[in-house]
Amino acid sequence: MGADRLDSVAVIGAGSSGLAACAALQREGISYECLEREADLGGVWNYASPGGRVYRSTHLISSKSLTEFLDFSLPDDCPDFPSHAQVLEYFRAYADAMGLHDHIRFGAGVRRMEREAGGWLLELESGERRSYGAVIIANGHNRDPYWPAQSTEFAGEALHSSQYKHPDQLRGKRVLVVGAGNSGCDIAVDSARIADSTTLSMRRGYHILPKYFHGTPIDICGERVLRWRVPLGVRRLLARVVTYFLLGRLRDAGLPEPDHKLFESHPLINSELVYHARHGDIDVRPDVTGFQDCRAQFADGSEGDFDTVVFATGYELTFPFLDANELNWSDNEHKPGLYLNVFHPDNDDLYVLGMIQPDSGQWGLVDRQARLVAKYLKGIRQGAESAGRFQKKKRAPGNRRTTKYLATPRHSLEVEHFSYRRRLDRELRALSKM
């Protein structure tokens, strides 16, 4: 039994990345077992699960055609931006169509993993210990909420965005949302409809893109321009012209002007934030400098009293079951040093999927990552020359980026989807030449 397991691969997590990994391994005829901590699949997209990170109003911010898995389309009757419930049904349909259910063990959280002869020994939260020849980590990077130190100073109700589920939590309250990522802006819009007052604290200004341009999802418009190989400077100009005519000047809505160029940060995709800000439903303030009881102080010297603060401050990238040194993670880096954010430079028995933050849909990119891992695993087991060439490539220092991003932890996983996708496709073609 032990020898058989050493020929098998453990996939940690049955969210979007884990499902893609299972399907890819299955295509290549590689034995695997998927270990999922929760009682159901879907990961952060499962609203009812303890590990769910979606709220009632959550929809995709990337259009369905640029988000879906490669060989399994979202249903035609799904809207351009499906809801979290439609996403979960899609994942379930994908698992059914690919025959993945028999390989998923629910309620099998991984407590610890450590090296052993020929592979890895995984200890589950139940105390059970199991051996595998390789491990694909697909537990996602939206698991452990990041709480700023000052959050403990607030005497009222403090929520992290991961704890926010529906607008009724904010009804009739004076609400402060700290953080202007896509989730923070969504929650501020929810709050504007139901709270007594809504304030959004923004550390810096961000470029905001509407969800649609002339009836077409904005990311599809961007995709067309990328396919036409329009230079970055021209793309920035076109996008700014479009957003100016559709949203107007950000400062007229009380929003701070960005301190960086368009596409140097993760885009805010929101058609309603500017609308509510211009209506006075959302009061925009700068960064919070501290709290005293239920009163917040802001960087411009202003203050305000609040009942509830929602900290939309993101998540910490953690792998609590694994020593960080195993992932080539140095102390001064915000993420592991992996080739394509997937492959360890030296070891061929440990991989990470989904450790990216693309400027478009993610599942198709992770599907490509998974196929690349599966083909590489098969290739090294068969001694394929293409796998040997890839092995040398992943050992080369550095992990090129084609776009400059803000030097913040928030952008450490950022990838420009178009060029990243092309790199994955090139590697897949090369590895397919066994």
Two tokens at 135? 């491990």
59 and 165 belong to one structural domain = no
Q: Is 367 helix (H, G, I), strand (E, B) or coil?
A: helix
Instruction: Taking residues 321-337, report their average pLDDT.
Output: 87
422 and 296 belong to one structural domain = no
pLDDT tens track for 146-196: 999 999 999 999 999 999 999 999 999 999 999 999 999 999 999 999 999
Angle in degrees, CA 107, 113, 119, rounded to 5? 115
384 and 300 belong to one structural domain = no
Kindly state the percentage of the chain with pLDDT values over 90: 91
Measured distance CA(216)–CA(65) in Å, rounded: 12
Which residue did the predictor score with more confidence, 208 or 396? 208
Question: CATH no. for residue 47?
Answer: 3.50.50.60
Quick one: how far is CA 390 from the chain centroid? Answer: 26
Confidence (pLDDT) at 6: 64
128 and 154 belong to one structural domain = no
Looking up tokens 């969800």 gives 211
292 and 401 belong to one structural domain = no
> Domain boundary at 256, 291, 311, which?
311
299 and 160 belong to one structural domain = yes
Q: Which of 179, 186, 138, 211 is nearest to 362 (CA)?
A: 138
Measured distance CA(34)–CA(14) in Å, rounded: 7
Helices (H), 336-384: 363-382
381 and 355 belong to one structural domain = yes
- CB 182, CB 358: distance < 8 Å: no
Question: Judging by DSSP bridges, how do beta strands 197-201 and 283-285 pair with one another?
Answer: parallel
152 and 297 belong to one structural domain = yes
Measured distance CA(125)–CA(416) in Å, rounded: 37
The count of domains in the chain is: 2
> Domain boundary at 311, 331, 352, which?
311
325 and 303 belong to one structural domain = no
Looking up tokens 């994955």 gives 424
Instruction: Judge whether residue 331 has pLDDT over 90.
Output: no
pLDDT tens track for 195-204: 999 999 999 9
Measured distance CA(149)–CA(191) in Å, rounded: 24
For the chain, the average pLDDT equals 94
- CB 219, CB 81: distance < 8 Å: no
> Domain boundary at 311, 343, 374, which?
311
Looking up tokens 């329009």 gives 230
124 and 44 belong to one structural domain = yes
Question: Judging by DSSP bridges, how do beta strands 110-116 and 104-106 pair with one another?
Answer: unpaired
pLDDT tens track for 363-414: 999 999 999 999 999 999 999 999 999 999 999 865 544 457 777 777 889 9
31 and 93 belong to one structural domain = yes
pTM of the model: 0.95
Q: Which of 357, 415, 423, 370 is nearest to 137 (CA)?
A: 370
CB-based burial label for 256 (10 Å; 0-12, 13-18, 19+): middle
Least confident window among 180-194, 263-277, 330-344: 330-344
pLDDT tens track for 289-316: 999 999 999 999 999 999 999 999 999 9
136 and 15 belong to one structural domain = yes
Q: Find the domain containing 203 and state its range.
A: 147-311
CB-facing half-sphere around the CA of 394: CA atoms within 13 A: 26
At 18, the pLDDT band (50, 70, 90 cuts) reads: very high
